[in-house]
Amino acid sequence: MLWVQIGLCLNMSCSNFLEGNLENQIDFLQKIFKEHFPRIPFPSQVREQDLVSILGYLVRHLDPLMSLSKQVSAMQNEQLEEIRKLLQTAYVSGHGIELESASQGHACISSEERNEAKSRGADLLFGELIVEGVDRALDVLHLCAADAKVFCDLGMGLGKFAMQAFFQFPNIEKAIGIEMARSRFKLGVDALRRLAQDLPDEFTLEINDEDSVILWDRKGRSLEFRCGDLFDCTDGVEQADVLICETHFSSEIMSKLISFLEKMKPSSRVLTFENLSNHVKETPLQFEQLAVNVEWEDRFPTTWNKTGHHFFLWKKK
């Protein structure tokens, strides 16, 4: 238990620790020593170069936890192996789209597309949660996709997040992703097409029209990619148990977004890029932030920050 406490304490404070000034760093280490190694006197004089030796002492004593942490990440990797394979079939083997990089999602956008989005008040800013980030966001401590029937991604990009949710959680009966940039939507549709082509015993493709394509599995579950403005996805917002809105909006659009999200069902969960509570409306916010997400250390690995970006996770009241 001691190791767990110190390990958590060190891990959670690591970024603060590295950014802090010497005085705070010494203060932090002194507290750990006082609490966990009361019989070892903390040195009265500590220079900057001594910090590494002191950390080294802690790390050596943390060894049991370090090996536990390696085992846990190996277990997590094993669990995600199947999902990675399916995403690779869909995205990588078809178009060489990398799972850990957003470069193709950036490169496909034309200036006309960007200008058109701007004229509609939208921002095509791009970046994705990577496989580990999606896994963490949807886990039982966070958005709890394990009890969701309907999942929706507003601003799906290439659709990787929605596809991972669909594959990782067989309880999800219906997943919808909507994207305004047609070039990104098309890359997503190519991925659906490839799955249906390569795994014909498992999936079939339904092409409704140029704005909607659905992948069906043998159990009648559906993964639909739509091209359009997320504000038109009322059915997705009203039905979703878990909603993703990892999308940037100008502050003028934020109150429109909040009113739109207020159509969600009670107790459904949503991830947002923006902090909803920074955009106060006349009426009180109908979302409470998940307790696990209040700390800035609650981060999710993304294409632009592999150690994790802090998104905001809410439960509809």
Ligand X SMILES: C[S@@+](CC[C@H](N)C(=O)[O-])C[C@H]1O[C@@H](n2cnc3c(N)ncnc32)[C@H](O)[C@@H]1O
Task: State how far the alpha carbon of 240 is from the alpha carbons of 38, 133, 155, 261, in Å.
Answer: 51, 20, 15, 11
Neighbours of 179 (CB within 10 A): 29
Residues 270 and 262 sit within 8 Å (Cβ to Cβ): no
Residues 36 and 2 sit within 8 Å (Cβ to Cβ): yes
Which residue is nearest to ligand X, using beta carbons?
Answer: 155
Which lies closer to ligand X via its Cβ, residue 6 or residue 124?
124
Shortest Å, Cβ 112 to ligand X:
14
Shortest Å, Cβ 276 to ligand X:
16
Shortest Å, Cβ 47 to ligand X:
44
Which lies closer to ligand X via its Cβ, residue 51 or residue 109?
109
Which lies closer to ligand X via its Cβ, residue 29 or residue 178?
178
Q: Is 251 exposed, middle or buried (0-12, 13-18, 19+ CB in 10 A)?
A: exposed
Shortest Å, Cβ 166 to ligand X:
13
Which lies closer to ligand X via its Cβ, residue 247 or residue 268?
247
Residues in contact with 237: Cβ distance below 8 Å, sequence separation at least 6, in sequence order:
152, 154, 243, 260, 261, 263, 264
Strand 312-316 vs strand 287-289: parallel, antiparallel, or unpaired?
antiparallel
Shortest Å, Cβ 105 to ligand X:
7
Which lies closer to ligand X via its Cβ, residue 10 or residue 264?
264
Which lies closer to ligand X via its Cβ, residue 30 or residue 255?
255
Token pair listed for 94: 């078809």
Shortest Å, Cβ 23 to ligand X:
38
Which lies closer to ligand X via its Cβ, residue 54 or residue 271?
271
Which of 240, 263, 231 is closest to 151 using CA atoms?
240
| Residues of this chain that bind ligand X (CB under 6 A) | 122-129, 153, 155-157, 161, 178-181, 184, 229-230, 244, 246-247
Shortest Å, Cβ 75 to ligand X:
24
